[in-house]
Structure formats: C-alpha cells, structure tokens
Amino acid sequence: MCLAIPGKIIEIDKNKEHAIVDYGDGTKRKVNVTLVDVKIGNYVLVHAGFAIEVLNEKDALETLSLFREMLSMEDE
C-alpha cells in the first residue's frame, strides 16, 4: 500500500530542488520538489520523499484532519 501525506512548503532551497515541508503537527521534513512547481505557502502531496502534486489548502487541511482522526482512533 502506498501512502502520500499533504504538507505545507515553509522553505525552498536556492536551487529549487528541495523544500522543507511542515505536516502540521510539528513534524518537518526535507522533500524533493523537482516534480512540481511550488512556492512557499503551497500545500503538496508527498510520497517517498517527493512532492508529487500541489493541493489547494482546503483539501490538504481536510486530509490532514482525517489522518489525525484515524490516528486518534488507533490509540483507543
């Protein structure tokens, strides 16, 4: 099973090859952004360390909320 997670671009390197993505819970990771055209503030779908799609904010936040809900159910 493959899983892609939405996150927000908070920093882009000078070569525009990598960015720091914030997943909304304090988790930040460096991802490759060479497959998409992004700018700071964009939400992207990240799979295996690559941003594979730019998302609108509404969809990204809704998906993150669903992930949090699933994880909280796992704790019960």
Q: What is the pLDDT of residues 61-74, one digit of tens each?
A: 999 889 888 888 86
Q: Which residues contact 73 (CB under 8 A, 6 or more apart)?
A: none
Instruction: Give yes or no for a contact between 54 and 19, defined as CB atoms under 8 angstroms apart.
Output: no
| Amino acid 71: pLDDT | 81
Q: What is the pLDDT of residues 14-44, one digit of tens each?
A: 999 999 999 987 899 999 999 999 999 999 9
Instruction: Give yes or no for a contact between 16 and 33, defined as CB atoms under 8 angstroms apart.
Output: yes
Q: Could you tell me the domains of the chain?
A: 5-75 (2.30.30.140)
User: Phi and psi of 50, rounded to 5°?
Assistant: -120, 135
Q: Is the pLDDT of residue 76 over 80?
A: no
| Amino acid 72: pLDDT | 84
Structure tokens at 36: 């998409």
d(CA 28, CA 7): 9
Q: Is the pLDDT of residue 75 over 80?
A: no
